[in-house]
């Protein structure tokens, strides 16, 4: 009986393709070492990124900016326990959005808010578009685009569309002596007939005492309606929002978007009535989201080759040079400080507040939207948030006359 199958082969008779047991153990140790090396390397990378989150967050702004926004948001919400706040920024070509809330309403970048007076930055685009189409000219007289039978106030003969868009018309801020039927929704019942009556008795103020005017912006929007034979919402949506892909921006919130329209809160944190508009809709009737406004600001920062290129460029051209450092484009206040050039606007209704700004020199922009309506009691905290977020140097005078340090 052969013993070749029971005994180990001698080295001379072993198959050269089969490794010895020592070689097998050596290879196993090498493989095991490689696995441990990979695991250790992975752990090292994980620890590195944990200790350096700014590197991991490649799509956002610097970590110091994140920390500043978190700090400012906490300060803002501490005084408004039920509020919801969304902040969006464009920095270094990247889009960043963060939402904060202390109440039951959890917002995000697509949540819809009322913009109030900040709606006028869109009115500036509608005006520039109407000029490009040849429907109006910046130096047209206001009353030339209103029914002659209802406007006979000769003191308005020098009020041009440009002056209305730059706050230099001399118009008062609000209709003189107007008493709304519903204080919680003050402009819903203010009609074209009331506007014409008020225009016929309007007394202009000195330009030095004039700045933004609610009735002035509303009158401009109404004049554009007559010139184009379209409603203001038709001009806004068809001519501006659709080309720029502002899908959540409108006057009337569609049924499709209604679930994203956050409830507004008044200065006491209680449910507020949403504002409706009639003839003065262009002055403050836009509803939008932070994401939509960031899309708009991306176009403002990079207008060349963008949809509505000439309209956008015209909207940010200086149309009035101020006495000091502030100039005005089409409804944008332009403030210069050190190496910065800021275009900005704020606004609010009974239940919402908005602040929006961009710096074309440094390619930087920010949007803030809150469902707290305390701007109507001269609380300019959101504009303060905006300027503090970018370490603005010096003092800024806001449109209500208050100074922001």
CA separation for the pair 251, 261 (Å, rounded): 12
Residue 246 backbone dihedrals phi, psi, to 5 degrees: -95, 80
**What is the C-alpha radius of gyration for the chain, rounded to an integer number of angstroms?**
30
pLDDT in tens, 47-87: 222 223 322 233 455 678 889 999 999 999 998 988 999 99
How confident is the model over 133-174, as pLDDT tens digits?
999 999 999 999 998 877 778 889 899 999 999 999 999 888
Phi first, then psi: what are they for 33, rounded to 5°? -65, -40
CB burial of residue 337 (10 Å; 0-12, 13-18, 19+): middle
**What predicted TM-score, i.e. pTM, was given to this entire model?**
0.82
pLDDT digits 0-9 by tens, 296-324 = 999 999 999 999 999 999 999 999 887 65
Q: Which residues on adjacent β-strands are paired with residue 89?
A: 96, 366
CB-based burial label for 237 (10 Å; 0-12, 13-18, 19+): middle
Each residue's pLDDT tens digit, 16-54: 444 555 545 555 544 444 433 433 333 332 322 222 332
Tell me what pLDDT residue 325 has: 57
Q: Of 183 and 398, which is predicted with more confidence? A: 183
Homologous superfamily, domain 63-404: DD-peptidase/beta-lactamase superfamily (3.40.710.10)
pLDDT at 329 over 50: yes
Alpha helices in 249-363 (DSSP H): 281-284, 290-301, 309-315
Cα distances (angstroms) measured from residue 268 to each of 187, 202, 224, 276, 375: 21, 34, 37, 21, 12
- What is the mean predicted confidence (pLDDT) over 246-264? 97
């Amino acid at each position: 009986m052969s013993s070749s199958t029971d005994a180990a082969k001698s080295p001379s008779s072993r198959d050269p393709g089969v490794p010895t047991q020592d070689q097998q153990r050596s290879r196993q140790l090498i493989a095991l070492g490689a696995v441990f090396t990979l695991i250790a390397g992975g752990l090292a990378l994980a620890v590195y990124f944990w200790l350096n989150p700014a590197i991991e967050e490649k799509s956002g702004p610097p970590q110091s900016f994140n920390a500043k926004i978190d700090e400012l948001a906490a300060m803002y919400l501490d005084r408004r326990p039920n509020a919801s706040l969304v902040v969006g920024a464009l920095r270094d070509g990247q889009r960043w959005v963060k939402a904060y809330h202390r109440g039951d309403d959890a917002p995000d970048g697509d949540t819809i808010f009322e913009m109030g007076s900040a709606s006028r930055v869109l009115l500036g685009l509608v005006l520039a578009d109407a000029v490009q189409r040849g429907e109006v000219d910046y130096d047209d007289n206001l009353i030339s685009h209103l029914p002659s039978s209802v406007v006979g106030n000769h003191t308005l003969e020098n009020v041009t569309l440009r002056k209305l868009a730059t706050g230099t018309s001399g118009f008062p801020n609000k209709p003189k002596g107007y008493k709304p039927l519903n204080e919680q929704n003050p402009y819903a019942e203010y009609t074209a007939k009331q506007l014409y009556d008020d225009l016929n008795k309007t007394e202009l103020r000195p330009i030095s005492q004039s700045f933004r005017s609610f009735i002035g912006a509303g009158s401009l929007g109404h004049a554009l309606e007559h010139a184009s034979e379209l409603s203001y919402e038709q001009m806004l949506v068809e001519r501006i929002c659709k080309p720029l892909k502002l899908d959540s921006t409108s006057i009337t919130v569609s049924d499709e978007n209604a679930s994203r329209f956050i409830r507004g809160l008044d200065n006491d944190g209680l449910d507020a009535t949403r504002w409706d508009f009639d003839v003065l809709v262009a002055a403050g009737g836009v509803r939008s989201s932070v994401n939509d406004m960031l899309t708009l600001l991306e176009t403002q920062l990079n207008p060349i080759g963008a949809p509505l290129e000439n309209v956008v460029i015209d909207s940010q051209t200086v149309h009035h040079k101020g006495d000091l450092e502030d100039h005005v484009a089409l409804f944008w206040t332009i403030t210069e400080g050190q190496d910065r050039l800021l275009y900005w606007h704020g606004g609010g209704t009974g239940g919402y507040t908005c602040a929006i700004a961009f710096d074309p020199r440094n390619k930087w922009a920010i949007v803030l939207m809150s469902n707290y309506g305390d701007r109507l009691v001269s609380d300019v905290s959101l504009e303060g948030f905006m300027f503090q977020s970018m370490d603005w140097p010096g003092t800024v005078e806001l449109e209500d006359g208050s100074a922001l340090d």
